[in-house]
Structure 1
Amino acid sequence: MKLVGLSRQIMLAMMAIALGVTLLVILTSYAFYYLWQIYWPDNSLDSSWIPTGPEWIWIIGATLAGLALSILVAINLSRRILVPLNSVAASIRRVAQGDLNARAIAGDRSLGEAAQLADDFNALANQLQRMTEEQAFWNAAIAHELRTPVTILRGRLQGLAEGVFTPSTSQFLSLLTQVEGLTRLIEDLRVVSLVESGHLDLQLRETQLDAEINAVVDMVGDALQSAGQRAILELDARSVYCDPVRIRQALLALLHNVCRYAVAGHVRIQSHVKDGWCELSVEDDGPGMPADLIPYLFTAFRRAQGARSGGSGLGLAVVAAIARAHGGRAACRTAASGGSVFTLTWPIDPVHGLPGPDCGEHG
């Protein structure tokens, strides 16, 4: 068997160790006999410094046995070490060629660092595969969300250009509605992307949160009424520190979510400040969220079944992104009444974030 690379270096190192040990034994033997003759001349051993025939046989045999043993140990050790290293190298080549399913074999875990290298590569490959799949999903989802309004705009404009549709105020208002939908979608994508990259700039200032909430509720009053919803406000009048534009954006997304998914009834909007934290919550009367869906509610393009109208699937992701940008988090729980309670929690002190689990668990 031809040994190359690391295997050859290990074998040569083991052979050098074996020869060195043998030479050390011989030299120390000569030193021992020399000191014996100096300090114990009356008990002198054979004075010949030249090994006899049997001694030569013993020296050569011991040397050869040591070399053979070192070669066997070197081959076994190199195989154990090279299994994870070769596996990692082969997997890296496969990943470079586009095979993101490639994984390394850790092999003998008693080697420690070599096995850990394989584990670290597998973790990296898993993360890379997950990110690639998420990117593909995002690209497909964005294309899907853009296709509908763009198709409508194209059809309406083409009809107007060819005289199929008569130009009228209602036609232009319909086109404007589609443009506004595209604008909201682009803004939502921008917010989520900026928060994920850590580049969303907040304009933090002292804000009368109750006034901001009232303004948003007035803005969506017609939509709530059309959905059979009636807003009940329980607001803390104290000022808080936040970006009012982003908080309004988050509350607007939550109320639009209620209009699409909740049954007719009451919408309880509450805010309170306690122990340096501000909490804004929106509670509906049902039908509530399935327990298995709650961990994914704030993931982009996740929708519940039974919505009254289509949405971009980005609303709750934007809510979570805005909460994270404020150093807080968004969460959802089932209310005692069976409805859903969505909460935004952020610190009054913008320097400190919310302790406990990472916000990404909800966002």
Structure 2
Amino acid sequence: MKLNAGISRQISLSMALVVLGIIAMVQISSYALYFWLLRQSPDALCDITNPWPEKEEVIWLIVTTICSLLIAVLAAGRLSRRILTPLNSVAQSLRAVAQGDLSARAGSDQHAMGEAAQLVSDFNLMAERQQHMAQQRAFWNAAIAHELRTPVTILRGRLQGINDGVFPAEPAQFQSLLKQVEGLGHLIEDLRTVALAESGHLPLQKIATRLDEEVASVVELAEPLWQAGGFRIEVALSVSVVECDPIRIRQALLAMLENACKHATPGLIRISAEISQGYCHLAVADQGPGIAPAAAQTIFEAFQRGAAVSTGKTSGSGLGLAVVKAIALAHGGFAVWQPSSLGGSQFEICWPHSASA
């Protein structure tokens, strides 16, 4: 099994091996030299009046010194390549990233030492995340501008029309303008919720909450929406008291309910809640048509509108389910999609359940 030793340990081991190799070479070659000298000219070795080494000994000293230097240079070169090659690659990539090239990646090889290889891996992961964040930031800027442009254009056109006398200044016109302003405010609040959750600053006030009462209030609030769409609501709760932020949970449930009313075919919508594996699961299920399988991976991301399987509808801002995910993460939980037993989609917000709740 290969040991994943640190750089300091590997340097120490490498230097120790070099020293041992040189000592072994000197000892073996000295035994061989004097064995040969004893056979060829034993009298020369017994001359104690001559303090200078024999010619053969001088040659042996020169050869062993050169061989020792070669061993040391080769070992040091191999060791430095294993350390400096990945470090130089990281340094070059850092300069490229500093100049704005977020696609720069450091290279390494299979002989790189443990810490050096880990440094390359960590740098590449950081650069990949930075590139992804830059792409997401550009995408968010374009998506936010697109979502804000429509209501602002409508408001400007209507107000300009009223000012020019094209539209009469009557309550119906102002009610229409107010509706656009409310939609704009809702969009801004959704953006704020998602942004705060991603930065880890979404405020929560967790208390013991009667979930049945909160669900009933949301159903009553959304009654005009689901009745106008031809839907009927069924509530099936197997849990009553949970610990959560009731305002945020109502917000998430309303977002899931609005999503179902916008994208599902008219029919039954079931709201259910249960405790499973230490989590409270609050789900909204519809009868179809469901979502495309490819969209299921990104359905909870901001501005990702999942097209229905059969209708292809993509109405909405693309923030409703992102808000659901943000609230779930703020509660220490998660949001999931799965096919529902009714034949359509089921969206769930799940958060840890406290036994004392």
Decide whether aligned partners of structure 1 residues 65 and 340 sit closer, same or farther in structure 2, where only a CA change above 3 A counts.
Answer: same
Partner-residue secondary structure (3-state), 1:103: coil
Is 1:321 aligned to residue 326 of structure 2?
Answer: yes
Give the stretch that moved more between structures: 292-301 or 237-246.
237-246
Q: CA deviation at 1:302?
A: 0.8
Decide whether aligned partners of structure 1 residues 239 and 64 sit closer, same or farther in structure 2, where only a CA change above 3 A counts.
Answer: closer
Partner-residue secondary structure (3-state), 1:109: coil
Which residue is equivalent to 1:144?
Answer: 146
1:1-363 aligned at under 5 Å gives the runs 45-47=46-48, 48-236=50-238, 238-273=240-275, 277-305=279-307, 306=311, 310-349=315-354
> What is the TM-score with the length of structure 2 in the denominator?
0.81
Q: CA deviation at 1:275?
A: 6.8
What CA distance in whole angstroms lies between the structure 2 residues aligned with 1:68 and 1:318?
66
Q: CA deviation at 1:110?
A: 4.9
What CA distance in whole angstroms lies between the structure 1 residues aligned with 2:194 and 2:74?
59
Q: CA deviation at 1:94?
A: 0.7
Q: CA deviation at 1:81?
A: 3.7
Tell whether the 8 Å contact from 2:282 to 2:350 is kept in structure 1 after alignment: yes
Q: CA deviation at 1:73?
A: 4.1
Decide whether aligned partners of structure 1 residues 183 and 74 sit closer, same or farther in structure 2, where only a CA change above 3 A counts.
Answer: same
Decide whether aligned partners of structure 1 residues 350 and 103 sit closer, same or farther in structure 2, where only a CA change above 3 A counts.
Answer: farther
What CA distance in whole angstroms lies between the structure 2 residues aligned with 1:350 and 1:126?
41
Tell whether the 8 Å contact from 1:271 to 1:278 is kept in structure 2 after alignment: yes
Q: 1:100-132: per-residue Cα shift (whole Å, max 9, x none)?
A: 111111024353333332222211111111111
Tell whether the 8 Å contact from 2:103 to 2:131 is kept in structure 1 after alignment: yes
Q: CA deviation at 1:276?
A: 5.4
Decide whether aligned partners of structure 1 residues 64 and 349 sit closer, same or farther in structure 2, where only a CA change above 3 A counts.
Answer: same
What CA distance in whole angstroms lies between the structure 1 residues aligned with 2:280 and 2:115?
47
One-letter code aligned to 1:84: P
Q: 1:230-267: per-residue Cα shift (whole Å, max 9, x none)?
A: 11122347222221111111111011101110001111
Partner-residue secondary structure (3-state), 1:278: strand
Query: What residue ranges of structure 1 are gaps of 5+ in the alignment?
Result: 1-9, 30-43, 353-363
Cα RMSD between the aligned structures?
3.0
Q: 1:9-37: per-residue Cα shift (whole Å, max 9, x none)?
A: x9xx99xx88xx68x969xx9xxxxxxxx
What CA distance in whole angstroms lies between the structure 2 residues aligned with 1:65 and 1:233?
86
Identity of aligned residues (%): 52
Query: What residue ranges of structure 2 are gaps of 5+ in the alignment?
Result: 1-10, 31-44
Partner-residue secondary structure (3-state), 1:292: helix
Tell whether the 8 Å contact from 1:80 to 1:108 is kept in structure 2 after alignment: no
One-letter code aligned to 1:132: A
Q: CA deviation at 1:274?
A: 5.8
Tell whether the 8 Å contact from 1:242 to 1:326 is kept in structure 2 after alignment: yes
Q: 1:169-225: per-residue Cα shift (whole Å, max 9, x none)?
A: 111111111111111111111111111122112122222211221111111111112
Give the stretch that moved more between structures: 61-70 or 168-177.
61-70
Q: CA deviation at 1:308?
A: 5.8
Q: CA deviation at 1:344?
A: 1.9
Give the stretch that moved more between structures: 167-176 or 323-332.
323-332
Decide whether aligned partners of structure 1 residues 309 and 91 sit closer, same or farther in structure 2, where only a CA change above 3 A counts.
Answer: closer
What CA distance in whole angstroms lies between the structure 1 residues aligned with 2:184 and 2:253?
20
Q: 1:36-55: per-residue Cα shift (whole Å, max 9, x none)?
A: xxxxxxxx954344322332
Tell whether the 8 Å contact from 1:334 to 1:340 is kept in structure 2 after alignment: yes
> What is the TM-score with the length of structure 1 in the denominator?
0.79
Decide whether aligned partners of structure 1 residues 111 and 277 sit closer, same or farther in structure 2, where only a CA change above 3 A counts.
Answer: closer
Decide whether aligned partners of structure 1 residues 245 and 350 sit closer, same or farther in structure 2, where only a CA change above 3 A counts.
Answer: farther
Tell whether the 8 Å contact from 1:332 to 1:343 is kept in structure 2 after alignment: yes
